[in-house]
Structures are given as C-alpha cells and as structure tokens.
C-alpha cells in the first residue's frame, strides 16, 4: 500500500521531528551529524509531522536515505512507501545514479520493504551498532550488531 499524502520540505526541525528521527537511529549525536548536510522532508497529519525522510548526497553520483521513520500510531498504512517512492524519484530527478540505505541486520520489516522496492544488499558494516551506540539495541528479540547497506540504481 502507498499513502497518497503530500510531502513537505522541512526548514526547521521541531521536537516532534526529533521524536521521529530517533525512532530510526536512537542517537541524537549521530543524527545531528547528518542533519547538517541532509535535506529533510515530512508528511503531516492535522498539521503535525507523522513521517520523516532525510536524504544526503554521499558522492557526486550517490544519494543516501539517512533516516526514514513513521510515527508508530501510523505504521503499516503506506507512509514509508510514499517516502521511498519520493526518494527514488528525487534521486532520478537530481541525476544521482545510486540510492542507498543502511539498516540493521535484525530489521526484518525494513529489509522486506526495501527489497520490495528493488534495493539490493551491497555491503555489510560489521559491528556498526555495537561500536557506535553506548546502549545495546534489541530488535525482534535479537541483539543488533551489523548494518546491511542496500543500494539501487536510479
Ligand atoms: N515483517 C515483514 N514485513 C512487515 C512486517 C514484518 N514484521 N510488519 C509489517 N510489514 C510490511 C507491511 O505489510 C507493509 O508491506 P505491504 O505494503 O507489502 O503490505 C510494509 O511492511 C510496511 O510498509 P509501509 O506501511 O509503507 O511502512 P511504514 O509506514 O509502516 O514504515 C518503517 C516503515 C519506516 C520501517 C516504520 O516501521 C518505522 O518508522 N520504524 C521505526 C524506525 C525505523 O526502523 N526506520 C528505518 C531505519 S533505517 C534508516 O532510517 C536509514
Ligand atoms: N519471521 C521471523 N521469525 C519467524 C517467522 C517469520 N516470518 N516465522 C517463524 N519465525 C520464528 C518462530 O517464531 C521461531 O522462533 P522462536 O523459537 O524464537 O519463537 C523460529 O522462527 C523457528 O524456529 P524452529 O521452529 O526451530 O524452526 P523450524 O523447525 O520451523 O525450521 C526452517 C526453520 C528450517 C527455516 C524451516 O522453516 C524450513 O525448512 N524452511 C524451508 C527450507 C529452508 O528455507 N531451509 C533453510 C535454507 S538455508 C540452508 O539450508 C543452509
């Protein structure tokens, strides 16, 4: 399913945006690093952000989805799919040749969704999460250690 919502460019990050950003990466420090360089977009419901997307150019030809998150109250209603379509279109329109996204090896739902859109696993960053986060992250009852990088040609 793909939601039919309007996507807005975000100029000012509010506390509600932060709440969404930290769902995807629970480290303010790490998120802050890429917010400086990235373009931020959101989807609103009743004037409040319920989904967020951060895109960043990682090379002349490569764009990365640094953050994608949906308010848990609105999950599984097609909002992330809407943002993924938008990101792919953005990459094409801005002449990037590759779009990439990193996710946890234990992130089964995310891996399903990204592969459904045509992303392929192209790299593994072993111990990314255990090295970069002070607190252990558990997902689907597993300790998250490794990051999978998925890429698609656009
Ligand atoms: N396993 C497999 N598939 C699942 C599962 C599951 N456990 N649960 C739901 N799904 C499917 C749904 O059926 C749906 O597929 P379908 O459209 O083919 O039926 C799909 O997953 C969900 O699609 P959307 O509704 O478009 O996605 P949603 O709006 O729920 O957002 C997201 C997905 C962004 C992963 C959301 O769950 C979220 O914010 N999670 C927490 C933050 C997060 O993990 N963000 C991504 C981190 S990676 C990064 O930011 C670069
Ligand atoms: N997503 C996540 N976890 C799931 C899902 C799902 N869609 N479905 C079931 N599970 C969980 C169960 O809850 C259980 O976990 P838990 O014990 O923590 O509750 C676990 O997966 C299944 O554990 P078992 O019952 O021990 O596994 P099972 O006897 O069902 O066998 C197997 C698993 C071998 C993958 C079986 O489903 C199968 O034969 N599949 C077809 C053949 C196959 O794919 N084989 C592996 C190919 S790789 C290779 O052969 C080297």
68 - beta bridge partners?
Answer: 53
Q: What is the CATH number of domain 8-153?
A: 3.40.630.30
Cα(81) to centroid(ligand 1), Å: 8
113 lines ligand 1 (CB under 6 A): yes
Residue 102 vs residues 9, 124, 132, 149, 150: alpha-carbon distances, Å: 22, 9, 14, 4, 6
70 lines ligand 1 (CB under 6 A): yes
Ligand lying closest to the C-alpha of residue 3: 1
Is residue 1's pLDDT more than 90? no
Q: Could you report the per-residue pLDDT of 50-64, keeping only the tens digit for each? A: 999 999 999 999 999
Identify which of 21, 20, 23 has the alpha carbon closest to the alpha carbon of residue 31.
Answer: 21
pLDDT over 90, % of the chain: 90
108 lines ligand 1 (CB under 6 A): yes
Greatest CA separation for the chain: 41
The protein residue with its alpha carbon nearest to ligand 1, atom 43, reads 24
* pLDDT in the model for residue 22: 96
Q: What is the DSSP string of 47-114?
A: TEEEEEEEEEE-SSSEEEEEEEEE-GGGTTSSHHHHHHHHHHHHHHHTT-SEEEEEEETT-HHHHHHH
Ligand lying closest to the C-alpha of residue 113: 1
Length of the chain in terms of residues written: 154
| Ligand 1 atom closest to the CA of 107, numbered from 1 | 44
147 - beta bridge partners?
Answer: 104, 125
* pLDDT in the model for residue 27: 87
């Amino acid at each position: 399913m793909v939601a039919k919502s309007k996507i807005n460019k975000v100029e000012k990050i509010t506390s509600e945006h932060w709440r969404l950003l930290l769902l995807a990466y629970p480290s303010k420090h790490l998120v802050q690093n890429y917010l400086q360089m990235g373009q931020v977009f959101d989807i609103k419901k009743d004037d409040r952000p319920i989904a967020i997307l951060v895109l960043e150019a990682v090379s002349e030809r490569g764009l990365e989805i640094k953050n994608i998150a949906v308010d848990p109250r609105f999950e599984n209603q097609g909002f992330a799919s809407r943002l993924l379509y938008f990101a792919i279109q953005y990459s094409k329109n801005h002449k990037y040749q590759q779009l990439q996204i990193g996710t946890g090896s234990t992130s089964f739902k995310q891996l399903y969704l990204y592969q459904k859109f045509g992303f392929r696993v192209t790299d593994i960053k072993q111990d990314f999460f255990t090295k970069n986060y002070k607190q252990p992250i558990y997902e689907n009852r597993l300790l998250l250690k490794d990051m999978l990088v998925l890429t698609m040609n656009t």
